[in-house]
């Protein structure tokens, strides 16, 4: 595990490289980079549930879709400045998440996965029901990126938007990292390890799980909102269960319970998909094979493989949520 | 220490599972500072009584009072926060976390800011200090940074007791703390528990199979047989009780 100063150095170097990328790669490659970062953020948001609470949500597309559609409606109808619109979309997504999560956390395991899937599909169906607002199967097109506040326009161009997404990803990562290392995060690791014991210790675990789901939806909604404003449209596919499945695979392949792993998983898969889809139509087959290979031979994921090279012990989520109180206090 | 009102009082507890009456009209009370053992042959209903007190099961009839408050209808986590800590018959720990992290999460349950989302270094540090103290009581200090899954079965059971005392409970409930331990491990565990309980600050309800353990630790004994209380009193009286003898020796009624 990378600790202390070396962690900060690694983060700084990564941030530096990401900041310099627009000067290195051609403009058209920025599109795929932006999508990769957005999916990295999306996968990381699901990791809060999968990796830290062992809640396998199969409906995380709901977070993505909610964020995307909220942003689309806010930006097209209200013409609010882009940053304000995105923040509002995140808040809407979190508020909607609370009752959904409260209901879904009545159950665990497979039935939890099915309930989350059902809610995501419900959202999908509602897009066609409320055509006037959502545009039905056409979705919402021509989403603007209104300037402001203070007349800011830097995020309207592609390079500027890349930096906006990059900033959101780094900020979200630092927030999630602080969350999993906080007292709250310690309770989550208890829930993951033995929920019955955590309840017996005096924790209302359902409230913790609901709060975590709201956070996961918030970060997932941020990814969706960033995507909608970038692509300029929001379509029903964003709510579709294929999105939920893909992001779950990204989390597992990246390394659940590590935050960084799922980011890498998201980035990795967007690139693979992009490259393969240019070569062959059979890319979903290869996508699936990669997933199976990871599950069978490297269940700790990409990040686990990377850190295993540097450490005797791969970075477990427990260590991350765990004992470096001095680090958390600093 | 005399108390006007018992710390824990069970009144007419009944629990049915279908046609089976697992617990039948059990009255039991525990004064503060006392150690009461709940004993009885297999299937006597000891663990069910435990689960009724901690709200893990709801009684078919009857009530549980803790420090004068009716806690029968409270959810499990709320009962714990009232000051009742328990261990489980089948060891319940957090296997992938270190021993210190296990106990730290238990200690943190008492913190007002246990919800804190970001930062919270002081909460974690305070809880870790309580955890280290509890680990020391259970002589587990050298395993503080070892993952709980790697501890021996005996040490895992002591770890769960450490978690319970880190909750700083008013009532400590131990469900067969020596179950599955070797003779040496049992002796060691009993000695550690004895040291822990010797200062009389803790009130304890103990379920135990091993009669020797019970007679070494308990002030009072309640004997359950087929869901009913058949004897209640100090160890010497219970030892001599004819009904208890026949229940344990499997004599006909």
Task: Report if residue B92 sits inside a domain.
Answer: no
In chain B, which residue's Cα lies nearest the Cα of A203?
Answer: B77
Task: Examine the predicted complex and report whether its ipTM is higher than 0.85.
Answer: yes
- Residue A318, pLDDT score: 42
Same domain as B122, residue B61: no
Would you say residue B175 lies in a domain?
yes
d(CA B220, CA B214): 9
What is the structure's pLDDT at B252? 42
Give the pLDDT score at A322.
40
Torsion of CA B207, B211, B215, B220, to 10 degrees: 40
Measured CA to CA, the distance from residue A247 to residue A75 in angstroms comes to 26
Co-location of B228 and B104 in the same domain: no
Give the pairing type, strands B220-225 and B203-207: unpaired
Query: What's the first-to-final CA gap in chain A, in angstroms?
Result: 18
% of chain A beyond a pLDDT of 90 = 62
Residue A40 inside a domain? The answer is yes
Among the candidates B163, B184, B215, a domain finishes at: B163
Mean pLDDT, each 10-residue run in order, chain A (330 residues): 70 88 87 95 96 94 96 93 95 96 91 94 92 87 86 87 95 95 94 94 94 97 96 92 92 92 93 85 84 88 82 45 38
Whether residues B184 and B244 share a domain: the answer is: yes
Q: Which of B121, B127, B165 to mutate to test the interface with A (most CBs of A within 10 A)?
A: B121
Which phi and psi angles does B54 have, rounded to 5°? Answer: -90, 5
With a cut of 60, say whether residue B97 has pLDDT above it: yes
**Which residues from chain A sit within 8 angstroms of residue B163, using beta carbons?**
201
- Domain-embedded: residue A37: yes
With respect to residue B63, please indicate whether it lies within any of the assigned structural domains: yes
Nearest CB to B123; choose among A183, A316, A326: A183
Tell me what the mean pLDDT of segment B164-192 comes to: 89
Q: Is residue A163 part of a domain?
A: yes
Of B96 and B198, more confident: B96
Query: Do residues B49 and B156 share a domain?
Result: no
pLDDT at position B186 over 80: yes
Which range, of A159-163, B158-162, B191-195, averages the lowest pLDDT? B191-195
Q: What is the pLDDT of residues B103-138, one digit of tens each?
A: 999 999 988 777 788 778 889 999 999 999 999 988
B220-225 and B228-233 strand pairing = antiparallel
Domain region containing B35: 1-83+169-253
**pLDDT, averaged across chain B:** 88
Select from B77, B100, B167 the Cβ nearest to the Cβ of A199. Answer: B77
Helix, strand, or coil here: B76?
helix
pLDDT band at B210 (very low <50, low <70, confident <90, very high): confident
CATH (domain of B24): 3.40.50.300
Tokens matching residue A23: 């000067």
**DSSP 8-state code for residue B98:** B
- Domain closes at, from B119, B140, B163: B163
> Do residues B252 and B174 both lie within one domain?
yes
State how many domains chain B has.
2
Q: Is residue A312 part of a domain?
A: no
Q: Is residue A279 part of a domain?
A: no
Cβ–Cβ of A202/B121 closer than 8 Å? no
Q: What is the pLDDT of residues B228-251, one digit of tens each?
A: 998 888 888 888 888 887 777 654
Considering only A65-69, A317-321, B45-49, B214-218, which range has the smallest mean pLDDT? Answer: A317-321
Q: Which residues of B touch A204 (CB under 8 A)?
A: 75, 77
Q: Both B133 and B149 in a single domain?
A: yes
Nearest CA in chain A to B122: A329
Domain assignment present for residue B94? The answer is no
Question: Is A196 within 8 Å of chain B by CB?
Answer: yes
φ/ψ of B171, rounded to 5, equals: -135, 125
What residue numbers bound the domain in which A147 lies? Answer: 29-240
Q: In chain B, which residues have their Cβ closer than 8 Å to the Cβ of A326?
A: 121
pLDDT by residue (tens digit) across A146-169? 887 887 888 888 899 999 999 999
Domain boundary among B115, B145, B163: B163
Q: Please say if the pLDDT value at position B2 is more than 70.
A: no
pLDDT (0 to 100) of residue B249: 60
Residue contact A183–B115, C-beta within 8 A: yes
Same domain, B221 and B183: yes
User: B64 with B116, same domain?
Assistant: no
Query: Would residue A253 count as lying in a domain?
Result: no
Number of structural domains in chain A: 1
């Amino acid at each position: 595990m990378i600790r202390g100063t070396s962690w900060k150095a690694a983060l700084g170097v990564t941030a530096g490289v990401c900041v310099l990328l627009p000067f290195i790669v051609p403009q058209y490659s920025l599109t795929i980079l932006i999508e990769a970062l957005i999916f990295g953020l999306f996968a990381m948001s699901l990791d809060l549930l999968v990796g830290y609470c062992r809640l396998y949500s199969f409906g995380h597309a709901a977070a993505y879709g909610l964020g995307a559609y909220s942003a689309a409606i806010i930006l097209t109808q209200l013409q609010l400045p882009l940053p304000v619109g995105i923040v509002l979309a995140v808040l809407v997504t979190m508020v909607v998440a609370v009752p959904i999560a409260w209901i879904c956390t009545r159950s665990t395991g497979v039935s939890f996965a099915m309930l989350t899937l059902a809610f995501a599909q419900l959202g999908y169906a509602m897009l066609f029901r409320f055509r006037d607002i959502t545009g039905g199967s056409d979705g919402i097109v021509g989403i603007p990126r209104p300037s402001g506040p203070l007349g800011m326009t830097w995020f309207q161009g592609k390079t500027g938007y890349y930096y906006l997404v990059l900033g959101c990803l780094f900020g979200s990562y630092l927030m999630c990292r602080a969350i999993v290392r906080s007292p709250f995060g310690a309770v989550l690791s208890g829930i993951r390890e033995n929920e019955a014991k955590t309840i017996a210790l005096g924790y209302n675990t359902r409230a913790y799980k609901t709060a975590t789901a709201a956070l996961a939806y918030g970060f997932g909604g941020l990814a969706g909102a960033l995507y909608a404003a970038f692509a300029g449209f929001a379509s029903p596919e964003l709510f579709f269960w294929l999105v939920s499945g893909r992001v779950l695979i990204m989390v597992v392949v990246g390394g659940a319970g590590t935050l960084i792993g799922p980011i890498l998983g998201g980035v990795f898969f967007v690139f693979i998909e992009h490259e393969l889809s240019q070569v062959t139509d059979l890319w979903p087959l290869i996508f699936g094979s990669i997933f199976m290979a990871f599950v069978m031979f490297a269940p700790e994921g990409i990040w686990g493989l990377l850190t295993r090279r540097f450490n005797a012990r791969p970075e477990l989520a427990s260590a991350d949520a765990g004992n470096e109180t001095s680090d958390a206090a600093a | 220490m005399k108390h006007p009102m018992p710390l824990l009082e069970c009144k007419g507890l009944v629990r049915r599972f279908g046609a089976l009456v697992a617990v039948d009209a059990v009255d039991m009370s525990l004064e503060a500072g006392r150690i009461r053992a709940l004993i009885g042959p297999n299937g006597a209903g000891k663990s069910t009584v435990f689960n009724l007190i901690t709200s893990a099961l709801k009684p078919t009839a009857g009530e549980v009072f803790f420090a004068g408050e009716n806690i029968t209808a409270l959810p499990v986590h709320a009962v714990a926060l009232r000051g009742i800590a328990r261990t489980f018959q089948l060891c319940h720990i957090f296997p992938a976390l270190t021993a210190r992290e296990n106990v730290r999460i238990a200690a943190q349950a008492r913190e007002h800011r246990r919800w804190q989302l970001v930062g919270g270094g002081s909460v974690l540090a305070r809880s870790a200090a309580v955890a280290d103290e509890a680990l020391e009581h259970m002589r587990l200090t050298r395993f503080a940074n070892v993952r709980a899954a790697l501890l021996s079965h005996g040490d895992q059971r002591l770890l769960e007791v450490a978690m319970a005392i880190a909750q700083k409970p008013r009532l400590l409930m131990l469900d067969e703390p020596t179950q599955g331990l070797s003779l040496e491990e049992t002796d060691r565990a009993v000695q550690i528990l004895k040291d822990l309980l010797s200062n009389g600050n803790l009130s304890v309800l103990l379920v135990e199979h091993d009669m020797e353990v019970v007679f070494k630790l308990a002030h009072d004994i309640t004997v359950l047989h087929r869901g009913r209380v058949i004897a209640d009193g100090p160890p010497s009286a219970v030892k001599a009780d004819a009904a208890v003898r026949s229940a344990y020796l499997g004599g006909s009624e």
